[in-house]
Amino acid sequence: MADPTTGPTADPATDPAAALYRTVALVRGFEQRAVELVRAKVVPGGIHPYTGQEAIAAGTCAALRPDDVITSTHRGHGHVLAKGADPARTMAELAGRTTGLNRGRGGSMHAADFGVGVLGANAIVGAAVPIAAGAAWAFRRAGSDRVALSYFGDGAVSQGVVLEAFNLAALWRVPLVLVCENNGFATSMRTADTVAGSILGRAAAFGIPARTVDGTDPEAVRDATAEAVARARAGGGPTLLECTAYRFDAHHTWEHTARPRYRTDEEVAAGRARDPLEIQGARIPAATRAAIDAQVAELLDRAVRFACEGPHPDPATALDHLYATGMRARAGVR
């Protein structure tokens, strides 16, 4: 392999390491821009930043096909982008514009793009796991080899519905990849204070193969996911990957004002030292990295402009899409 600091420029379109770096950089940059837009009050409501966990989204989605599907979490921008959603329309969704992925109806916590297999971020912890299992079962029943991948956090492994879904998925051998993003915290609670036993032990109880993966290393995540996906496609049923990482920023941008204290600056600095962006960046030529950084920055500049320029929805359309059949609800005041 060429010396990454002096070697020739690699093309993300053909070089997997460069492609992974590009996704990590895109998600990192997107989150930073989104936080800025929260502070500028362009994005209402705030966001749950994904910084520090980008390798998980990038690595897992690199092992999926475009026709595979994912379900996501309330910290979902990284998954949505890595699966292929347009950054500009994703940012417009965060800003609540009609040009957003969900026409401004979902926002940060519900970003969905069925066109690229994103069955939605989900704001109820663990709720999407059985949904992904059901989609996976439908694929198998239709005779296809598509798979579903469900992201959930370490906090979700104490939700009953998640464990019930483990049972169903294992019992019926559905083509499902279970990705637990262990970022160390369920909001402010440390994993050790919320999980009795272990996350891998949860899977073992249902006979689901499980392993822990370094969730700061995009290539390690990709390779582990590829094995799990191959197993699912071959009819082997679900696999659990516990991907460990450290959440760099607040649970929610709200923390910037409320400032709850549940970790020290020293700890955060130590966590930030293991940075997926640097880990993957070191694997590609410096010139490639610089070229990707410039391209991503330009893409995100355009995304921010697109989001800011998008029209706000007409209040008269507030309940459009409430029913897929087009049924209209009665107004609250008549």
Nearer to another protein among residue 116 and residue 303 (C-beta): 116
Under rule CB under 8 A, residue 40 binds another protein: no
Number of residues that bind another protein (CB under 8 A): 52
- Compute φ and ψ for 132, nearest 5 degrees: -65, -40
Nearer Cβ to another protein (160/315): 160
Residue 145 binds to another protein (criterion: CB under 8 A): no
Residue 59 in the binding site for another protein (CB under 8 A): no
Look up residue 252 and give its two tokens: 């929610």
Q: Are 29 and 296 in contact (CB under 8 A)?
A: yes
Torsion of CA 311, 33, 41, 184, to 10 degrees: 120
Does the protein bind another protein through residue 120 (CB under 8 A)?
yes
Q: Would you give the binding string for another protein spanning residues 79-118, x where CB under 8 A is met?
A: ---------------------xxxxxxx---x-xxxx---
For residue 48, give every residue at least 6 positions away whose Cβ sits within 8 Å of its Cβ, in sequence order, or none.
74, 75, 108, 109, 251, 252, 253
161 contacts another protein (rule: CB under 8 A) = yes
Question: What single string gives the DSSP state of each residue in 285-304?
Answer: -HHHHHHHHHHHHHHHHHHH
Which CB atom, from 71 or from 191, has the smaller least distance to another protein?
A: 71
- DSSP string of 206-269, one letter each residue: TT--EEEEETT-HHHHHHHHHHHHHHHHTT---EEEEEE----S-SSTTHHHH----S-HHHHH
Out of 132, 178, 213, 304, the residue judged to bind another protein by CB under 8 A: 132
Q: Summarize the chain as % helix, strand, coil (round to 5).
A: 45, 10, 45
Nearer to another protein, 25 or 94 (CB): 94
Residues numbered 277 to 296 that lie near another protein (CB under 8 A) are none
Of residues 157, 181, 184, the one with CA closest to residue 82: 181
Stretch that binds another protein, among 42-50, 79-87, 126-134, 280-288 (CB under 8 A): 126-134
Task: In whole angstroms, give the CA distance from residue 264 to residue 122.
Answer: 29
Closest separation in Å from C-beta 157 to another protein: 14
Give the number of other CB atoms < 10 A from CB of residue 266: 8
The answer to the question of residue 315 lying near another protein (CB under 8 A) is: no
Quote the least distance from Cβ 123 to another protein, whole Å.
9
Query: First CA to last CA across the chain, in angstroms?
Result: 71
Q: Which of 81, 165, 221, 277 contacts another protein by CB under 8 A?
A: 165
Our finding on whether 149 is near another protein (CB under 8 A) is: no
Q: Rounded to whole angstroms, how far apart are CA atoms 105 and 66?
A: 24
CB of 71 to another protein, least distance (A): 8
For residue 66 the two structure tokens come to: 């475009």
131 binds another protein, rule: CB under 8 A? yes
- Least CB distance from residue 112 to another protein, whole Å? 4
| Contact set with another protein (CB under 8 A) | 69, 71, 100-106, 110, 112-115, 119-120, 122, 124, 127-139, 141-142, 148, 160-161, 164-165, 167-168, 171, 319-325, 327, 329-330, 334
